[in-house]
Structure 1
Amino acid sequence: MPELLTASLLGLPWLIVLGLSVLVAVPALLVLTQVVLALLPDRRALPEFERPPRIAVVMPAHNEGRGLRPTLMQALAQLTPMDRIVVVADNCSDDTAAQAREFDVTVVERSHATERGKGYALDFGVRALERLALETGHAPDVVIILDADCLLGPRLLTRIAAVAHATGRPVQATYLMSAANDGLKARVAEFAMRVKNLVRPRGMHQVGLPCGLYGTGMAFPWDVAVQAPLASGHLAEDMQLGVRLAQLGAPPLLCEDALVTSVFAKSNEGEASQRTRWEHGHLAMLVGEGPRLLWQSMRPGRGAQLLQVMDMLVPPLALLGMLLVGWTLVQLLLAVWLGWTAPLAVALAGLGALMAAIVLAQRRWAGDLLTLGELARAPLILLAKVPLYLRFVVKRQVDWVRTKRDV
C-alpha cells in the first residue's frame, strides 16, 4: 500500500507536465489543421446573392480628419442614393466631423470621458441609425462597419451586404494589412496577418465553421445589428463580438472574395502602439474570458462554437512559437534527467506542427512576400517582442489608444 501511494505521488507531477505539454501543443495542431484545410479546393464558395435595397455604413472615426476622405469617397462610389453612411466622430479633438460633413453622409458626434473605445462608437452609430429609421420609416436591411482609414476592394460593400441579407448571418470580408516598408520585420508582420485573417478563417470555412470578426469589412443583418452587444471598451472588441454573436445564434461567416485592406503604421511609435493594443487585447480575451467561454462551449450540441472558441484561444503566432520552443527545451532537460519522454514527444509534435503550418502557409500564400530563408531568420526578429509580452504580465494596456498615423 505505501508503495502504491508513493508511485501515485511520483506520477502526479508527470501527469501535470504531460497535461501542460498537451495544452501548449493543441493550438499549434489546430493551426496546422486549419492551414491544411485551407489548401484544399474551395468546397463552400458563396454564390452570388441579390443586393439588398438599403445598406447603411457605420464608420467610427477618432481623430481621422487627415485620412477619412479617401475611404468615404470609395464607400460612396459603391452605394446608391437609397443607402446611407453614418460617420461617428468619436471623442475627436481635430476636424474629423467637419471633414465628413463635406460629403453626403450623416455625421454624429460622441464625447465621453470614461467610455472610450471603438465598441462604444459602433453602438452609438447603430443607435443613430435606429433613430433615423423611426424618423423616416425606413430601416436599413444591412449595416456594414468600416474603419475610417481602410481601402475597399471592388464590390466590397454590395457583396458582403448581399451575403448577410441572404444568409441572415454576420459576414466578415477578407481583411489584410500591408507593410508600410520593405523591411523584414514589416513583411513578417504582414505574413502573420495573412495567416490569421485569411488562411485560418478559410480553413474553418471549408468545413462549415464560423470565422472571427476583424474590426472592418463586417456586415450585419439589421435585426442582428440592433441586438448585437457592441458597446465595449475591450481592446479586442471585434474578437469579443464575434464569439458573443455565435453564442446568440448568429455565428459570423467568411466572405473570402470580398476584400478590405489597410496599412501598418510606419513610425516605430505607431507600430508599437498598434501592436500593443492588438496583442494585449488578444491575450486579455484569452486569459480573461477564454476559460469561461471554453467551458460554456463544451455543452452538447455546441461543437461549432467550441472550435470557434479554440480558434480564438490560439495565441499570437510569435508568442506561440516562443512558448513551444521554451517548453520543448524544458521537456528535453526533464527527459534527460527523469526519463519523461512522453511530454517531450507531445511538445515536439506541437513545435513540428507549427513549423509545418508556417512553411505551408508561406509556400501557398506568401511566396511574394518572404522567402523560406527570410522566414528562418524571423525568430531572431520576433525576440524583440518579448518585452511586449512581459508588459502584459506587469503593466498591461487596458485602455483603448488610437494608433498614431503618419502623414
Structure 2
Amino acid sequence: MLDTVLAVVNGLLLAGTALLVLPALLLLVQIVLALRQPPPLPAQPRPARIAVLIPAHNEGHGVRATIMQTLSQLGPDDRVLVVADNCNDDTAAQARLVGAEVVERHDAERRGKGYALDFGVRHLEMLAQHEGHSPDVVLVLDADCVLSPGLIPRVAGLAQAHGRPVQASYLMYAPTPGLKARVAEFAMRVKNLARSRGMFRLGLPCQLLGTGMAFPWAVALRAPLASGHLAEDMQLGVRLARDGTPPLFCEDVLVTSVFAASQEGERSQRTRWEHGHLSLLVGEGPKLLWEALRRGRLAQAMLVMDMLVPPLALLAGLLVVATLAQAIWALLTGWVAGLVLALLGVAALLVAIVAARHRFAAELIGLGELLKAPVYVLAKLPIYLSFVVRRQTEWVRTKRDH
C-alpha cells in the first residue's frame, strides 16, 4: 500500500515539474535559435490602399504625434482612422486637427481595445460599401507609439502578399535608468524579439503584440476582434492561427513605446499584462493545445505552447519552488528523478536568460545585475497572488506620465 502511495505521489510530482520544465526548454530552444539573425523576408509591392486603424482611449495628449508619423508613410489613396473609444478628453478633436478621420464609440459595458478594433473595422466596411472599394490591408497602431521608417508599406506589402497577418518588431523602453525598469525592458526584448525570432527560424508563426500589426482586408473582416480580454492581442493571434491565418513575424521594421514611468502606472500596466496572459494560459491554453494536437496542426500547437510559457519571473519562481520541493522529497524518500528533472528546468532557464542577455541586452543590464533578478521576482509576487484572489478582468487604461 505504501509503495502504491509513493508511486502516485512520485508521478504527480514528476508531472507537475514537467509542466514547468517544458516551457523552460522551449524558451531555451527559442533563444538559441535567435542568437543568429535570419535574412529578411523578400520585399513585396506596396498595396494600393492601406487603412491604418488607431484605437485611442483618452490619448489627446499624444495621439497627434503618432498620426503625423503615420501620415508621412501613407499615399493619397490611404487613410488613417482613429477610434476615439469611450473618451472624456479631446482625443477626437486632436486627431481631426492633424488630418485623421475619426469615429467615436461610446459603450460603457463593452470596454477594451478589442471592441474598439472591431468597431473600426465595421466602420471601414461601411465606408467600403459606400465608396465602392475597400482597403487592401488594415494596419493597427497604438496611439502612443513611434514607427521606424518604412514600417507601414513594409508590413502591409507582406500581409497582402502572404494573405496572413504580419507583426512588426515591437519593443518598449525603460523611462528611467533604475534596475527594475531595465529588467522589465530586458524581459520585453526576450518576449517580443528573441522568442519571435526563434519561432520565425523554426518556420512557425509568432504572437500578435498589439501594435504594428497588418491584416489583409479579408482576414480583418472575419477576425474575432470584439473582445474585452486583457490580452486580446495574444488571444487574437492564436485564434487566427486556429482559423488558418497564422501571424508572420517581420523583424526588420520596428514600432516602439515607453513603459509607464510612475509607480502607479507601471503597476497598473504590469497587472493588466500579467493577469491577461495568465488568464489565457489557464483558461484557453489547454483547450487550444488539445484541439491543435487532435487535428495534427503542429504550427498551431507550437504557437499555443509559446503562449503557455509563463512570464519569466513567474516561471523562475515556480521552478525554484519545484526544485526545493523535489529536493525535500528526495531526502525523505531517496527518489531523485523529479529533482533531476527540476534541476534540468532551472539550468535551461538560466542558460536561456544568460544567452539572451548576451545577445539582446548586453548594453542594458550587466551580468552582475542579473544576480539581483530574484529581488525582481519577489517584487512581482503580489501581482501573481492577486491573480488568484482578486483577478483583474476588466481593461483599465494605464495612467500616463503627463
Provide the TM-score with structure 1 as the length reference: 0.97
Match of residue 120 from structure 2: 125
Residue ranges of structure 1 left out of the alignment (5+ in a row): none
Secondary structure of 2:97 counterpart: coil
Aligned partner of 1:293: which letter?
L
The counterpart of 2:93, out of the listed 90, 95, 98, is 98
Aligned partner of 1:268: which letter?
Q
Secondary structure of 1:45 counterpart: coil
Match of residue 29 from structure 1: 25
State the shift of 1:380 in Å.
1.3
Question: Aligned-pair RMSD on alpha carbons?
Answer: 0.9
Match of residue 297 from structure 1: 292
d(CA) in 1 for partners of 2:20, 2:189: 23
The counterpart of 1:345, out of the listed 340, 345, 352, is 340
1:1-400 mapped onto 2 (5 Å cutoff): 7-42=3-38, 45-400=40-395
Aligned partner of 2:6: which letter?
L
Residue ranges of structure 2 left out of the alignment (5+ in a row): none
Provide the TM-score with structure 2 as the length reference: 0.99
Offset from partner CA, 1:1-31 (integer Å, 9 cap, x none): xxxx653343111111111111111110100
Aligned length: 402
Offset from partner CA, 1:118-168 (integer Å, 9 cap, x none): 000000000110011111111000000000000001111110001101111
State the shift of 1:66 in Å.
0.4
Aligned partner of 1:34: which letter?
Q
d(CA) in 1 for partners of 2:262, 2:335: 47
State the shift of 1:300 in Å.
4.2
State the shift of 1:219 in Å.
0.1
Secondary structure of 2:83 counterpart: strand
TM-aligned CA distance change 1:202 to 1:292, over 3 Å: same
d(CA) in 1 for partners of 2:278, 2:296: 27
d(CA) in 2 for partners of 1:218, 1:41: 21
d(CA) in 2 for partners of 1:40, 1:196: 16
Secondary structure of 1:298 counterpart: helix
Secondary structure of 1:194 counterpart: helix
Give structure 1 regions of 4+ aligned residues with deviation exceeding 4 angstroms.
Answer: none
d(CA) in 2 for partners of 1:7, 1:392: 37
Secondary structure of 1:279 counterpart: helix
Offset from partner CA, 1:234-286 (integer Å, 9 cap, x none): 00000000000001100000000010000000100000000000000000000
d(CA) in 1 for partners of 2:90, 2:36: 48
d(CA) in 2 for partners of 1:114, 1:373: 48
d(CA) in 2 for partners of 1:340, 1:357: 28
d(CA) in 1 for partners of 2:167, 2:314: 25
Percent of pairs identical after alignment? 64
